Amino acid sequence: MASERLESWVGSANTAVTDFPLNNLPYGAFAGAGRAGVCVAIGDQVLDLTALEAAGALSTPSGAPLFAEPRLNALMAAGPAVWAAVRAELTEALAARSTRQGEIAPHLLPMDEVALRLPFDVAEYTDFYSSRQHAENVGTIVRGPENALPENWLHLPIGYNGRASSVVVSGTDVHRPLGQLRPPGEEAPIFGPCRRLDFELEMGAVVGQSSALGRPLTVGQADEMIFGYVLLNDWSARDVQTWEYRPLGPFQAKAFATTIGPWVVPAAALAPFRVAGPERTERLLPYLTEPGPMAYDIALEVELAPEGGEAATIARSNARHLYFSAAQQLAHHAVCGCPMQVGDLLGSGTISGPEPGGYGSLLELSWGGREPLALPGGASRTFLEDGDTVTLRGWAEAGDHRIGFGSCTGKILPAVAEPHWT
């Protein structure tokens, strides 16, 4: 059950529509106004934790600096006890009853005057395939309804290892990728720009603790290792993927860019919004057993804006539709003995709801390109065109406040000029 809104002396944090009430305090990284470092969002302000710590106004339970570097990795590495202590101190300092306003206020900056950066150094990136509706939709489009789900899908979280080097922060433009693709009816592939470029509506789990080589994790242990969550768009070149993915899965079709939101919402802020996931239709093996509800009731939406055109919300979904939780994904990742690292990023996979308006990709919304999606002003889309901007948003809703993620945005630019190979 979600708690009531905590009141802050930062007035903009006390409205029902802000993504960033005192209950949230998501972490990010910023630059602007002659400063750079780590911050938390509070209302329409950011609190500069790097400057606050340097001024001696923020204690560090571990005794070591947590915010001297421009990313969150040092804080994450300090562990759950420190996460809780820092969060408690910030909550107390920003609360309406706090006596520390004069000490804290000089370190607040208007959010619209700073640039938000990649909030943590991404160690490794793994993307999963954990929404049953999405998997059934894609399987039906590609293989037909009789073979929609792979035979292993209900038994384990399917995933692939992606590229940490191409994870970028919201606001970064994305070039249409080049690659091999085989047009329908052709025997041989051609080389050129992707023609079926897509977005994927996802959540990302940020791993804040490491595990040892050869040591598996329980789902409960994995859950305690997750520092927080971000919005995530795993851009996909569908035609490149169709040609390359057999037998090993995605490669270049996913390696060109993955966009994450700038705000890492702490797992602690989302705890009141935990819910049971979808009903199981196959009994899971014991190592994937959850000790309690581990899905989240997080509303999600996708907005598409053609260049020079009107933006429109084209999909609404919810994270509670994920069949496998992030903790289950992490436990499965480590069960073979794979060591996890501080800063690992786990993508949920596309999150599609049960109705067509809740599908989390254009592949589904246009049903493989056969049913164009209508946009305001008479435009339509089967897949993304150059100049399109895609924005993801997400929030957990309480009666008098919301725990929001801000937005996760990327604009599609044309492919780079093809080199001339000889």
Check: CB of residue 25 under 8 Å from CB of residue 91.
yes
Q: Which helix (H) or strand (E) holds 191?
A: strand 190-193
CA distance linking residue 361 with residue 198, whole number of Å: 7
Beta carbons of 410 and 235 less than 8 angstroms apart:
yes
295 contacts 319 by C-beta, under 8 angstroms: yes
DSSP class of residue 386 equals T
Q: What share of the chain is helix, strand, coil (3-state, %, to 5)?
A: 25, 30, 45
Nearest 5°: the CA angle 313, 383, 363 is 85
Number of continuous H segments (helices) and E segments (strands) in the chain = 11, 26
List, in sequence order, the alpha helices (H) in 199-351. 219-225, 238-244, 252-255, 267-270, 326-334
What the block records as the tokens of 369 is 């390109």
N residues, the chain: 422
Q: Is 356 exposed, middle or buried (0-12, 13-18, 19+ CB in 10 A)?
A: middle
In angstroms, the CA 47 to CA 50 distance is: 9
Q: Which residues contact 361 (CB under 8 A, 6 or more apart)?
A: 134, 198, 199, 200, 201, 236, 350, 352
**Exposed e or buried b per residue across 315-328, where buried means at least 16 C-beta atoms within 10 angstroms of its C-beta:** bbbbbbbbbbbbbb
Backbone angles phi, psi at 168, to 5 degrees: -125, 160
Q: Is 134 a catalytic residue?
A: yes
Active-site entry in 107, 134, 333, 401: 134
φ/ψ bin of 308: left (φ > 0), alpha (ψ from -120 to 50), beta (otherwise): left
Pairing, β 174-175 against β 402-413 = parallel
* CB contact at 8 A, 37 and 52: no
Of all helices (H) and strands (E), which one includes residue 104?
helix 101-104
Catalytic residues: 134
